[in-house]
Structure 1
């Protein structure tokens, strides 16, 4: 998936992604730090501005990136922009963690614009409550959408009145203190928390699955259709099983694939590889404009590829097929040009 994501972008990022099987849940900060340092002891020799770089993902946030970067600097002696997501007071951009989440909402806006619709006033179901989900929620609020759900490992939270900035702040604080979303009900008792369930049965116009791979199976896909949802923006990598995707397509739900919707995060990742990036003073407006530009170009490129291969723009599968075609052609061209075929 990462290969296709990067190939679909305009940028020069490479072909794959990796990680570890270390589970940070229940671990102390010292244990997490020691693991990150041990991991970097082996990884550092393969990193560099022209080689590879680590980035935030599942279970890896600013804290872990700081631990990794600190050990890399001790071992290599370099203080270079080879890491995505550093804090502004020691290196790089302060916007990295927002880039992916904001980009997902911008992508939804582009998809809706092609359907002559706007995000304002639409009810949105979100799964997950990690950094991507929370930034999706934040940006939906600024777009005047009505997010109504978030979830954690125990179940999901539903507020039929929709979340606002006050409620968003409460959820963010609950998660920062590693408490259950059930705590939300103490302040807003009209909401409900459903144990051992996912939010896809709640009435919504757009779904934003941000939790995990394969979180939407055949049953959840049917629930999404019954909820009235007509657009699904894949946020996590491959949140829908193959069977779920088939069901959603037959019901004419427009699915925006993760390989395309990740354009915002990919764009900022590329910018941070630029050694001059950490010296640049970016405003919030500059940052959001860059993400929106990357999102629009990725969407247009995907739709153009679909149409060139005979897939009508009105077809709900056009974006999925177009993204696959465009990414594949870029990879094939690179392999041919470099004598790899």
Structure 2
């Protein structure tokens, strides 16, 4: 496998995020492959690590001043062995083929872990919606769909939202898709409830993260109640994970954004989280939260990991938690870490966790709640049904508990299971068998 990894790095030397994700996956499944040499045949690993298709196109659009703007857009259709390509669209200046390829590889394992019939893809554009008017965002979304609609559909490729793409953007994208395709189907998830969306989709990743964490704790005869939790980020995932943790009796002491961290020693509450949602919607920073409420301090340029906690939930972005942060968490007595973002911990940070007594759950398992409810939305669309919040929540919890059991099956079910190996092997196994069964394509 070292030769394969070397080849990948030589082929795309600047794709460092993808190299990190690929190396982690190959290392995690190496022991399983030694026991199942048939999975080394037919170039399976090389095919798994190469997208089935990459679509790149320009998106010309007109801003409010009448100026023509041009952005780059991509769709990485990574693996369709288990079903239609499924994964979000990201609008952010950092979007490039490296970032989307790593996200698509992680999505492949994540989607397989859910047990749902979902392939994997990831896409987006280097368009920044911040500071843009609704009219500009609508025109950009419509221009993007003028090209992308050729490559998607309910049984082909089903995008969703991601960073910079919320329900508003999905609505504009879906509307243009509906017009161009002349069909009203489940070709998007994360839609408004007014036209085929599912309840709990905005909350799903955050809620699913807490359900997976609760399974981890239960396995050790522990509970979330009375635990101190540090959360990074202030977006959808972070806020809803914090809200669910508070509901389950935990004390959530931090949130963060690009400007710094807020710390609430006595814990955040629902009023604080509502204020964060309002502040972020206005384009403000978390320093405003400290100005509005007593008992909250803002630390400019700091990360949440300097504060004492028993549970850490990185929910911001990739590689946000570095080796020094990991050592500080371990030294401060943190015992559980579950990733709410995709690959938020560097490889060096993960190595620190594995050498300690901390239990570490990777995002490919712990943050699968979003795609799980997206799969449930697809089911509702195909059946022309709309399920209650209670029904969706029950199914989400069942899926996250099932993912946890699959991780234990391959990562050990003792007091300190290896969740990274367990998740990687369980997801890889399902995709690999499907690929072998379908021949060399």
TM-score range, shorter chain: over 0.9
Alignment partners' CA distance in 1, 2:377 and 2:391: 14
1:39-89 alpha-carbon deviations (Å, 9 max, x no partner): 111110111111011111111111110110111111111111221111112
Is 1:236 the equivalent of 2:327? no
Q: Which runs of 5+ in 1 are unaligned?
A: none
Is 1:119 the equivalent of 2:224? yes
Q: Name whichever of 177-186 and 40-49 sits farther off.
A: 177-186
The correspondence for 2:251, drawn from 106, 127, 146, is: 146
Q: Name whichever of 271-280 and 294-303 sits farther off.
A: 271-280
Q: Which runs of 5+ in 2 are unaligned?
A: 1-105
Q: 2:126 — aligned with what? A: 21
Is 1:33 the equivalent of 2:138? yes
Q: 1:336 — aligned with what? A: 436
Q: 1:175 — aligned with what? A: 280
1:99-141 alpha-carbon deviations (Å, 9 max, x no partner): 1111001111010000111001111101000111111111112
Alignment partners' CA distance in 2, 1:292 and 1:326: 19
- By how many angstroms is 1:235 displaced? 0.7
Runs of 4+ in 1 over 6 A off after TM superposition: none
Alignment partners' CA distance in 2, 1:73 and 1:188: 45
Is 1:47 the equivalent of 2:152? yes
Task: Write 1 or 2 for the structure with the bigger share of strand.
Answer: 2
Alignment partners' CA distance in 2, 1:278 and 1:336: 31
- By how many angstroms is 1:276 displaced? 4.2
Contact 2:254 2:304 in 1 (8 A): yes
- By how many angstroms is 1:284 displaced? 2.1
Contact 1:126 1:147 in 2 (8 A): yes
Following superposition of structure 1 onto structure 2, how do residues 83-98 of structure 1 map, counting pairs within 5 Å?
83-98=188-203
Is 1:248 the equivalent of 2:348? no
Q: 1:67 — aligned with what? A: 172
What TM-score comes out, normalization by structure 2 length? 0.74
Equivalent pairs counted in the alignment come to 336
Contact 2:380 2:387 in 1 (8 A): no
Alignment partners' CA distance in 2, 1:8 and 1:30: 39
- SS of the residue 1:96 aligns to: coil
- SS of the residue 1:97 aligns to: coil
Over the residues paired in the alignment, what is the CA RMSD in angstroms? Answer: 1.6
- By how many angstroms is 1:187 displaced? 2.7
Following superposition of structure 1 onto structure 2, how do residues 265-284 of structure 1 map, counting pairs within 5 Å?
265-274=370-379, 276=381, 279-284=384-389
What TM-score comes out, normalization by structure 1 length? 0.94
